[in-house]
Structure 1
């Protein structure tokens, strides 16, 4: 049985506000909870004006309170911006309030240069990323015996359980770090859909070393998914996604996710059409049954233990329908 998760960017639909986008995320999380999904993750995006997800820890607190059984997590916290100790405390607090339901997915920082400057302007020397991962393992396992610069320090609150720790990535560097630290690995197929990604995941499995966090290698693969009740509707939604991605990758960023109607009226230049064609490899499109088959193909190719879908499509009702239709197609509940 395929384990299905959701990663939600909290898109701000055209004509809507950030507040309504976050309310939509809450409704989507509650639907995923009822429908049998395993995890619901939220993102950390800065200076992307069409999405409302900028502080995953705070949004996670809200969602964990509104849901009952689904695991709530970050996809992910951009660790180099922050103190590993403070991140550990934030997530241990979440874990204390919602035991066995909290995931910490961490990544490097693909943010804009100005964002990096603003988040780090008061800092001196940066702690290396690998050292931050070592720090998180220490704080999540309450290790005060191993040699460490803060050997006797524990992250509070002290809890009987700990958040699940995941490393996010697309390349060999992140896969190697996850394997060396004994962490679960979340591969971003939506960012790197090439077949080379399969080899990255295979090398992670081969190099995996058991740790205090995990006994064996575990992989989730994240995909953009656009599901319509018909192929025609799915293609209309995909065209809105195409336009949103063009906006995100350009200097022009409207503060909303374009509607199906806006996308249908927008004429694309020759260069934009080329970019859309390239970006379509990052996207699974079709009816629920068609996307189910595509998901199963990805899962088989990567040997994935879990698949995380990103229903980053126009319209709250369409996102709700996508989550519902895939749950029914996979008989999750």
Structure 2
């Protein structure tokens, strides 16, 4: 089968840019993605950040749907542990009613920010796990709360003719288990956790434990950081020396950040001691032939035919060029 490509944009405000400019660039990229024939365009959720402008994917998705005509628009992802499943379902049911067949709801496990913003978002005590909340979202999106639920019969109005498609985003075996348990597509973010062993284990776990629901089958997607340029040398210069820093708090909680400074601040806000593991960030970079070869190789290694691409380096024009070259590189390519 031909490789399917989507884009994840993080609405990054680069040096000298306002957040309004960053969001305007996200709109332009969504329109470019549609013109180039990408399958989908997702936006991320980040909080309390001067660098990332996208704190409310639901709001941004609505604007992007109105600014495009055909491409599927979604979240990569909504951090469900912060929110009422009922309200998330309502938001996406409205979107799916406005743009039938074009809305996708990616659910993420990361906090989307440092402990301070997590505390602000989770303003009420809630003992439900992410798995519990996910089950509620699934129920609310397609109809009323199920029999036996404390809110049995409650509907997340409006009920769309074609609900948003759900995806689970993650970087670990536990997220793969959740996706398999719920019978949902699974997206592994290699650009966040670049451990190939962890990625392999996650996909194998997902496929082996997948619970078929309604005739559904496992659907594996790999999320990559990619920079394509006119030469390998130019791509390497654009990519620089990005790092991936895995923080492990004394409580055992882990999170991936980009710098040692972010790791220190995360631990300070959490009020815990910590250790870090610093690795070179996983980035697929090079001229068209180089990026095509690696993506095909990764597709065969992890047995995936769908990719979500993020490009977080370079000026806006350079990112536009990268997405254009990438689509050209993989036109008609199969794995």
**Fold-level match, TM-score > 0.5?**
yes
Structure having the higher helix fraction is 1
- Deviation sequence 1:212-251 (CA, Å, 0-9, x none): 5x611111110111111112211111117569x9994243
- For 1:201, the equivalent position in structure 2 comes to 203
Take 2:23 and 2:29, find their aligned partners in 1: how far apart are those partners?
10
How far the C-alpha of 1:47 sits from its partner, in A, is: 2.8
Take 1:242 and 1:116, find their aligned partners in 2: how far apart are those partners?
24
Take 2:231 and 2:147, find their aligned partners in 1: how far apart are those partners?
57
How far the C-alpha of 1:145 sits from its partner, in A, is: 5.0
| Matching of residues 53-72 of structure 1 within 5 Å | 53-72=54-73
- For 2:307, the equivalent position in structure 1 comes to 307
Tell whether the 8 Å contact from 2:241 to 2:280 is kept in structure 1 after alignment: no
How far the C-alpha of 1:141 sits from its partner, in A, is: 2.4
- For 1:298, the equivalent position in structure 2 comes to 298
| Matching of residues 259-278 of structure 1 within 5 Å | 275=278, 278=279
Out of 249, 255, 260, the position equivalent to 2:259 is 249
- Deviation sequence 1:113-164 (CA, Å, 0-9, x none): 111111123x023322111011011112215554322221121111110100
- For 2:118, the equivalent position in structure 1 comes to 116
Tell whether the 8 Å contact from 2:104 to 2:166 is kept in structure 1 after alignment: yes
Taking structure 2 as the reference length, the TM-score comes to 0.86
- Deviation sequence 1:18-56 (CA, Å, 0-9, x none): 111111111111010011100100000113322212111
- For 2:272, the equivalent position in structure 1 comes to none
How many equivalent pairs are there? 308
Take 2:163 and 2:49, find their aligned partners in 1: how far apart are those partners?
31
Take 2:313 and 2:20, find their aligned partners in 1: how far apart are those partners?
18
Tell whether the 8 Å contact from 1:241 to 1:313 is kept in structure 2 after alignment: no
Taking structure 1 as the reference length, the TM-score comes to 0.87
Q: CA, structure 1 residues 34+173, in 2 after alignment: closer, same or farther (shift >3 Å)?
A: same
- For 1:217, the equivalent position in structure 2 comes to 218
- For 1:79, the equivalent position in structure 2 comes to 80
Stretch of structure 1 that moved more, 108-117 or 289-298: 108-117
Stretch of structure 1 that moved more, 78-87 or 41-50: 41-50
Report which structure shows greater RCO (CA 8 Å, sep ≥6). Answer: 1
Take 2:205 and 2:302, find their aligned partners in 1: how far apart are those partners?
11
Counterpart secondary structure, 1:103 = strand
Q: CA, structure 1 residues 105+112, in 2 after alignment: closer, same or farther (shift >3 Å)?
A: same
Take 2:41 and 2:136, find their aligned partners in 1: how far apart are those partners?
25
Unaligned runs of at least 5 residues, structure 2: 247-255, 264-276
- For 1:184, the equivalent position in structure 2 comes to 185
Unaligned runs of at least 5 residues, structure 1: 254-273
Counterpart secondary structure, 1:251 = helix
Q: CA, structure 1 residues 145+115, in 2 after alignment: closer, same or farther (shift >3 Å)?
A: closer
Counterpart secondary structure, 1:167 = strand
